[in-house]
């Protein structure tokens, strides 16, 4: 008995050599794809939101809304994929959030943000004098893959920041690293401390001090001299580059010329009070946040970072240490290991049940259906840019049940028909024609559900 029309099951049984070759090819391709697939904790997603921060010292919240935020919002409404803007204003500050439509194609988001930046820059000329910004931030999608703390006992933070910059450049050369952010850096400040009593005694006005510093610390172009050979630039050496130059700044008051160091103390420090401080293990520290490239294997990046950090620590001076705080590779490894455990557990259960109920030959066929189907899935995932993450791994775990169920139904139908006297080709043809459509419909309904 044979089935009319195209019948894939009958064709596979009839052309045994080609079938075995395809099984071997799919197995090899699946194994290669499995090791090449990227590993991540969560899937990448496109954030369709950007923020615009504008400052205007001295303005009221109403002035920020009417004279700053409203102008920016009107320009944002010209965007093609514009959805809405939300603005929060307070005296001297406006915080605007631009949200694109949910239907915005991910490939168009960066172009839309670029257009938004252009419109914001065009509008800057129409904003009131004294407005600072607007400052645009559209990098919400960056997720820190690993955090490292940089500590040094009894070392000034400005020196620690220089060490952090050196380490940052080394980490950027690790394959798979997109960017490295230094977190917890306090801005450097130069403090000039003087007493009003001394200024009053010497007859020096504080405004004279400020004016002298502003006039001295300028970069003034002085032109260049054209020669027959090289072009010689003339520079005025007035800008401050050392503390001693600030101390030697001349202050004129009541016909007398004084040095700034005669009336004030000049010293270097950090912003006080600090706007952002980080402690790790109870000690002040700087954090280096590593961001992974899209589609990269997180497990490979974790190993590469561990090797590079070990090399960096060997070259660091005594008293400075670089330690891991968090590492996403641990979570990725846990998710992948969980999938592998569930996969092999399901495979063993299926094989055991199939061997007991159907015999070893039928059990092998059922057991092979699971890894072969997953091998094809791995190849498709690699071709479409999918990674192993919590969403895809969860989907694969759920799919194991469907794969096992369909394989058992198909092989059982073939066994029953062969016991009734059908040939192998006829039995496989019958299983295809009578079970393929119902199993496909059931599987699709389950997947949609």
Residue 194 lies in a domain: no
Residue 265 lies in a domain: no
Whose CA is closest to 14, among 426, 327, 405? 426
Phi, psi angles (nearest 5°) of residue 296: -85, 160
Instruction: Indicate whether 171 and 295 sit together in one domain.
Output: yes
Mean pLDDT by 10 residues, the chain (449 residues): 60 78 90 84 81 90 90 91 91 92 89 91 87 84 84 78 88 89 81 76 74 69 74 70 74 74 77 75 84 81 88 83 85 79 75 74 75 87 83 78 73 77 77 76 78
Instruction: Indicate whether 132 and 174 sit together in one domain.
Output: no
Residue 2, pLDDT score: 44
We report the CATH number of the domain holding residue 35 as 1.20.1640.10
Segment 69-72 long-range contacts (CB within 8 Å, at least 24 positions apart): 69/94, 69/96, 71/123, 71/126, 71/127, 72/96, 72/120, 72/123, 72/134
Instruction: Indicate whether 409 and 353 sit together in one domain.
Output: yes
Residue 267 lies in a domain: no
In total, the chain counts a number of residues equal to: 449
Residue 268 lies in a domain: no
Query: Residue 225, SS3?
Result: strand
We report the CATH number of the domain holding residue 174 as 3.30.70.1320
Instruction: Indicate whether 151 and 294 sit together in one domain.
Output: yes
Residue 2 lies in a domain: no
Identify the burial level of 232 via C-beta atoms within 10 angstroms of its C-beta, where 0-12 means exposed, 13-18 middle and 19 or more buried: exposed
Question: What is the number of structural domains in the chain?
Answer: 4
Instruction: Indicate whether 313 and 291 sit together in one domain.
Output: yes
Residue 238, pLDDT score: 62
Q: Write out the residue range of the structural domain in which residue 73 sits.
A: 49-137
Residue 254 lies in a domain: yes
Residue 96, pLDDT score: 92
Tens of pLDDT, residue by residue over 231-290, are 777 776 666 667 777 777 777 776 777 777 777 787 877 777 777 778 887 788 888 889
Q: Look up residue 378 and give its two tokens.
A: 């791995």
Please tell me the pTM assigned to this model.
0.64
Distance CA 66, CA 94 (A): 11
Instruction: Indicate whether 109 and 67 sit together in one domain.
Output: yes
Instruction: Indicate whether 277 and 319 sit together in one domain.
Output: yes
Instruction: Indicate whether 65 and 78 sit together in one domain.
Output: yes
We report the CATH number of the domain holding residue 131 as 3.30.70.1430
Residue 31 lies in a domain: yes
Residue 239, pLDDT score: 67
DSSP letters spanning 317-378: PTTEEEEEEEEHHHHHHHHHHHHHHHHHHHHHHHHHHHHHHH-HHHHHHHHHHHHHHHHHHH
Instruction: Indicate whether 124 and 173 sit together in one domain.
Output: no
Residue 220, pLDDT score: 66
Instruction: Indicate whether 436 and 371 sit together in one domain.
Output: yes
Residue 3, pLDDT score: 46
Domain boundary among 329, 345, 374: 329
Report yes or no: 296 and 290 within 8 Å, Cβ to Cβ.
no
87: part of which helix (H) or strand (E)? strand 82-90
Domain boundary among 99, 119, 137: 137
The phi-psi region of residue 319 (left if phi > 0; otherwise alpha if psi is between -120 and 50; otherwise beta) is: left
Residue 6, pLDDT score: 67
Residue 193 lies in a domain: no
Report yes or no: 156 and 286 within 8 Å, Cβ to Cβ.
no
Whose CA is closest to 143, among 296, 309, 300? 296
Instruction: Indicate whether 183 and 234 sit together in one domain.
Output: no
Instruction: Indicate whether 184 and 215 sit together in one domain.
Output: no
Residue 1, pLDDT score: 43
Could you give the count of Cα atoms lying within 13 Å of 129 in the half-sphere of its Cβ? 0
């Amino acid at each position: 008995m044979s089935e009319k029309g195209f019948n894939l099951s009958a064709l596979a049984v009839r052309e045994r050599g080609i079938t075995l070759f395809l099984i071997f090819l799919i197995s090899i391709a699946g194994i290669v794809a499995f090791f090449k697939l990227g590993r991540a904790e969560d899937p990448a997603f496109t954030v369709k939101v950007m923020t615009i921060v504008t400052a205007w010292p001295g303005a009221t919240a109403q002035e920020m809304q009417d004279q700053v935020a409203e102008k920016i919002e009107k320009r944002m409404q010209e965007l093609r994929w514009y959805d809405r803007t939300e603005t929060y204003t307070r005296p001297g500050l406006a915080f605007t959030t631009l949200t694109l439509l949910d239907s915005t194609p991910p490939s168009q988001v960066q172009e839309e943000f670029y257009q938004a930046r252009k419109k914001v820059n065009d509008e800057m000329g129409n904003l009131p004098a004294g407005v600072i910004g607007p400052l645009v931030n559209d990098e919400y999608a960056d997720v820190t893959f690993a955090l490292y703390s940089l500590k040094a006992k009894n070392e000034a933070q400005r020196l620690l920041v220089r060490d952090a910059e050196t380490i940052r450049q080394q980490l950027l050369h690790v394959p798979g690293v997109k960017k490295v952010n230094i977190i917890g850096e306090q801005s450097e400040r130069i403090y000039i401390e003087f007493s009003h009593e001394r200024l009053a005694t010497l007859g020096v006005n504080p405004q004279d001090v400020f004016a002298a510093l502003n006039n001295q610390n300028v970069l003034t172009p002085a032109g260049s001299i054209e020669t027959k050979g090289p072009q010689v630039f003339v520079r005025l050496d007035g800008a401050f580059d050392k503390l001693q130059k600030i101390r030697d700044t001349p202050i004129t008051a009541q016909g007398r010329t004084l040095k700034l160091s005669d009336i004030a103390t000049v010293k270097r420090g950090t912003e006080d009070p600090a706007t952002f401080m980080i402690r790790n293990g109870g000690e002040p520290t700087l954090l280096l946040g590593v961001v992974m490239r899209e589609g990269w294997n997180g497990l490979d990046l974790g190993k590469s970072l561990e090797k590079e950090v070990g090399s960096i620590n060997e070259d660091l001076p005594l008293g400075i240490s670089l330690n891991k705080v968090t590492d996403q590779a641990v979570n990725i490894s846990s998710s992948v290991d969980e999938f592998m455990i569930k996969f092999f557990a399901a495979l063993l259960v299926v094989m055991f049940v199939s061997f007991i109920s159907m015999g070893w030959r039928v059990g092998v066929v059922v057991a092979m259906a699971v890894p072969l189907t997953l091998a094809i899935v791995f190849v498709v995932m690699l071709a479409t840019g999918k990674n192993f993450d919590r969403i895809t791994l969860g989907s694969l775990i759920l799919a194991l049940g469907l794969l096992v169920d369909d394989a058992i139904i198909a092989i059982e139908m073939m066994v029953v028909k062969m016991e009734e006297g059908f040939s192998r080709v006829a039995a496989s043809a019958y299983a295809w024609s009578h079970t393929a459509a119902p199993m496909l419909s059931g599987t699709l309904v389950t997947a949609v559900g």
